Chains A and B, each alone.
Chain A
Amino acid sequence: MSALRADASAALAIARKDAIAELRGRQIAGSTLFFATLVLLLFGFALGPDSRRLAEAAPGLLWLAIVFGSLLIVARLHQLEAEDGALEELARYPIERHAIYLGKLLAGLAAVLVLGGVLLPVVAILYGIDLAAAWPALLATLVLGAIGLAAVGTFYAGVTVRMQAREVMLPLLMLPVVAPLLLATVKATSAALTANALGDLGAWLQLLIVFDVVMAVAGAATYGHLLEE
Chain B
Amino acid sequence: MGTRVLGIVALVAVLAASVNALFLVPADVNQGDAQRIMYVHVPSAWLGYLSFGVTALAGIGYLWKRDLRLDAVAVAGAEIGVMFTAFAIWGGMMWGRPVWGVFWQWEDPRLTTTALLLALYLGYLLFRRLTDDPHRRAARAAVVGIVAAVDIPIVHFSVEWWRGLHQGPTIGSPDKVLHPSAPGLFVLALVSMVVAFTLAWAWLMIRRYQLARIDWQIEEHGRLGRISAARRAVRAAATTPADGAAEGA
- Between A and B, 19 residue pairs with Cβ closer than 8 Å are A163-B130, A169-B123, A173-B144, A175-B119, A177-B120, A179-B158, A180-B154, A183-B161, A187-B161, A203-B161, A207-B157, A211-B154, A214-B154, A215-B147, A218-B146, A218-B147, A218-B150, A222-B147, A225-B63
Chain A contacts for B146, CB-based, 8 A: 218, 222
Other A-B pairs beyond A179-B158, A226-B139, 8, CB < 8 Å: A159-B140, A159-B143, A176-B119, A180-B155, A207-B161, A222-B143, A222-B147, A228-B139
Interface majority SS (helix, strand, loop, mixed), chain B: helix
CB distance from B129 to the nearest CB of A (A): 10
8 A Cβ contacts from B122-159 to A: 123-124, 126-127, 130-131, 136, 139-140, 142-144, 146-148, 150-151, 154-155, 157-159
CB distance from A158 to the nearest CB of B (A): 9
Closest to B158 in A: A180
Contact of B123 among A163, A172, A184, A215 (CB under 8 A): A172
Separation of A184 and B136 alpha carbons in the complex (Å): 34
A145 at the interface (CB under 8 A from B): no
**Is B126 a contact partner of A172 (Cβ separation < 8 A)?**
yes
Separation of A222 and B148 alpha carbons in the complex (Å): 12
Given A176-B120, A222-B147, A225-B63, A169:B154 Cβ within 8 A = no
A140 at the interface (CB under 8 A from B): no
**Is B165 a contact partner of A164 (Cβ separation < 8 A)?**
no
Given A169-B130, A177-B148, A184:B158 Cβ within 8 A = yes
CB distance from B140 to the nearest CB of A (A): 6
8 A Cβ contacts from A171-212 to B: 172-173, 175-177, 179-180, 183-184, 187, 199-200, 203-204, 207, 210-211
Separation of A223 and B63 alpha carbons in the complex (Å): 12
CB distance from A105 to the nearest CB of B (A): 14
Closest to A171 in B: B123
CB distance from A152 to the nearest CB of B (A): 8
Chain B contacts for A160, CB-based, 8 A: 127
Separation of A165 and B63 alpha carbons in the complex (Å): 24
CB distance from A181 to the nearest CB of B (A): 8
Separation of A210 and B144 alpha carbons in the complex (Å): 19
Separation of A110 and B157 alpha carbons in the complex (Å): 28
Separation of A210 and B153 alpha carbons in the complex (Å): 11
Interface size on A, residues (CB 8 A): 34
B19 at the interface (CB under 8 A from A): no
Closest to B139 in A: A225
Separation of A204 and B154 alpha carbons in the complex (Å): 12
B116 at the interface (CB under 8 A from A): yes
Most buried by A among B136, B154, B161: B154
B90 at the interface (CB under 8 A from A): no
**Is A155 a contact partner of B140 (Cβ separation < 8 A)?**
no
Separation of A222 and B141 alpha carbons in the complex (Å): 11
**Is B151 a contact partner of A177 (Cβ separation < 8 A)?**
yes
Closest to B59 in A: A222
Chain A contacts for B139, CB-based, 8 A: 225-226, 228
Most buried by B among A203, A210, A215, A225: A225
Most buried by A among B116, B151, B159: B151
CB distance from B51 to the nearest CB of A (A): 17
Separation of A218 and B136 alpha carbons in the complex (Å): 19
**Is B162 a contact partner of A187 (Cβ separation < 8 A)?**
yes
Separation of A176 and B131 alpha carbons in the complex (Å): 20
**Is A199 a contact partner of B151 (Cβ separation < 8 A)?**
no
Separation of A214 and B149 alpha carbons in the complex (Å): 12
Separation of A108 and B77 alpha carbons in the complex (Å): 33
**Is B148 a contact partner of A203 (Cβ separation < 8 A)?**
no
8 A Cβ contacts from A36-88 to B: none
Separation of A176 and B113 alpha carbons in the complex (Å): 10
8 A Cβ contacts from B147-197 to A: 147-148, 150-151, 154-155, 157-159, 161-162, 165
**Is A183 a contact partner of B140 (Cβ separation < 8 A)?**
no
Most buried by B among A172, A187, A200, A215: A172
Separation of A214 and B165 alpha carbons in the complex (Å): 22
CB distance from B82 to the nearest CB of A (A): 13
**Is A169 a contact partner of B120 (Cβ separation < 8 A)?**
no
A219 at the interface (CB under 8 A from B): yes
Chain A contacts for B157, CB-based, 8 A: 180, 207
